[in-house]
Amino acid sequence: SGRWSRAVAIVKEFEEKCATPIGKLRQVADAMTVEMHAGLASEGGSKLKMLISYVDNLPTGDEKGLFYALDLGGTNFRVLRVQLGGKVGVVKQEAEEVSIPARLMVGRSNELFDFIAAELAKYVACESEDFQLPAGRQRELGFTFSFPVKQTSLVSGTLISWTKGFAINETIGEDVVSELTKAIERQGLDMRVAALVNDTVGTLAGGRYYDKDVVAAVILGTGTNAAYVERAHAIPKWHGLLPKSGEMVINMEWGNFRSSHLPVTEYDQSLDAESLNPGEQIFEKLISGMYLGDILRRILLRLAEEASFFGDTVPPKLLVPFILRTPDMSAIHHDTSSDLRVVASKLKDILGIMNTSLKTRKMLLELCDIVAKRGARLSAAGVVGILKKQGRDVAAAEKARTVIAMDGGLYEHYTLFRKFLENTLTEMLGEEVASTVIVTHANDGSGIGAALLAASHSQYL
Ligand code: ADP
Ligand code: MG
């Protein structure tokens, strides 16, 4: 029918606009490397902020004692405690996840920090005897804060901007460690922030603790970002003393990467225009969990409006921003039943759409494929950009391992996304180099990493 061929034409055009052939991916990887250089050269030299983390030593495995971590960076935050036993490793580790009430993400700064500190105080109050704090010592905390922060030391840094759905103007320009410290004091909790780290930096530290060949970390969750180990003398904008290690971890804030080579469609443009941060985080808006489901919703809306894809009327729920979440998209994409019954039930439960034909449901799967593949392949191109910067995209003389620690709900749970990413890395690097590049899942690496960095920067050392 005319409707169906119209739908096919819209999908075909979308697919073409989203295409990421290998040549395009190489351009993206090259552009990433170029922007990395520019961001390291001068403050404001690039859309990539290439933030100095003040982490010039990664965990060695000798860390000892009881440490806490608090991980704030999305819709949930995590509190964690770990008893480190030096050479024997992690003796005991516990974590708890707390969801952040949506109103606090766009409310007052103090209310957000008070909420976090109160949850932290509650958590500390149920510390069991398996955890040992030597008498007279203050508890110490690694604070994982996954938003762009201009750090001035390992324990201070001002917020540059909120991302991922947070928007609290009065926090911008404030020192987030001092905001947290004041809130901790208001709770009457005796605890010191010993390290402020981005989740990527935490994941890198956590990954390194278990594998000494970890040299970069990537987060694919609500948002996306990466950190890697840079040679300190290759950071022209760094005017401080060169660290003894000769190295510095850089928080790229790669979510804000943009390039004319990125395949951006009209759907992405309207998503961006209607977002809380228009013009910002363009790479993130093509890749990460906060947005993939909404890109899918937008193309479905177009199909409903222009090709009566779901019948004569446009299902009203399709007009609701972010109603289709990435975990639901993932469930749709992974439906292997012959009649696509998961797709059918998701359409019904989320969008109120009934009685779709198998042909329609198959088309939905195809759309998931287009959106997820583009995101995963662009993520892989970003990783290759980092490897190029590190000179690790070519075969080494002695087969050195290069390990990339990855974490985040999107990477962890969206199996097809992860497979596309891994396959694309091999496609871009070639079999020989790809066999030396290992991607590992650093489970909750950012929390443990922050605790490890708190340990190696303890006031009692
Ligand atoms: P954050 O990035 O907020 O710190 P996570 O790393 O746990 O937290 O990532 C959560 C995000 O991961 C969710 O917002 C969602 O976009 C994505 N996600 C979670 N579960 C799935 C899933 N099953 N399939 C796809 N994406 C998922
Ligand atoms: Mg996180």
- Cα angle 6, 12, 18 (rounded to 5 degrees) comes to 140
Axis-axis angle for helices 292-307, 2-18 (nearest 10) = 150
Describe the crossing of helices 266-273 and 292-307 by its angle, rounded to 10 degrees: 120
The ipTM is: 0.99
Region of residue 176 (left: phi > 0; alpha: psi -120 to 50; beta: else)? alpha
Specify the ligand 1 atom closest to the Cα of 408: 6
In the reported structure, the alpha carbon of residue 67 is separated from the centroid of ligand 2 by a whole-number distance in angstroms of 19
Could you identify the atom of ligand 1 that is nearest to the CA of residue 330? 24
DSSP 8-state code for residue 255? G
Residue to mutate (ligand 1; options 71, 324, 326; most atoms within 8 A of CB): 326
Query: pLDDT digit of tens for each residue in the chain (461 aa)?
Result: 799 999 999 999 999 999 999 999 999 999 999 999 999 999 999 999 999 999 999 999 999 999 999 999 887 899 999 999 999 999 999 999 999 999 999 999 999 999 999 999 999 999 999 999 999 999 999 999 999 999 999 999 999 999 988 999 999 999 999 999 999 999 999 999 999 999 999 999 999 999 999 999 999 999 999 999 999 999 999 998 999 999 999 999 999 999 999 999 999 999 999 999 999 999 999 999 999 999 999 999 999 999 999 999 999 999 999 999 999 999 999 999 999 999 999 999 999 999 999 999 999 999 999 999 999 999 999 999 999 999 999 988 777 899 999 999 999 999 999 999 999 999 999 999 999 999 999 988 889 999 999 999 999 98
Protein residues within 5 Å, CB atom, of ion ligand 2: 73, 199, 221
416 C-beta closer than 6 A to ligand 1: no
Amino acid identity of residue 44, one-letter, is G
Strands 149-153 and 156-159: antiparallel
| Ramachandran sector of residue 459 (left: φ over 0; alpha: ψ -120 to 50; beta: rest) | alpha
Q: Nearest ligand, CA of residue 74? A: 1
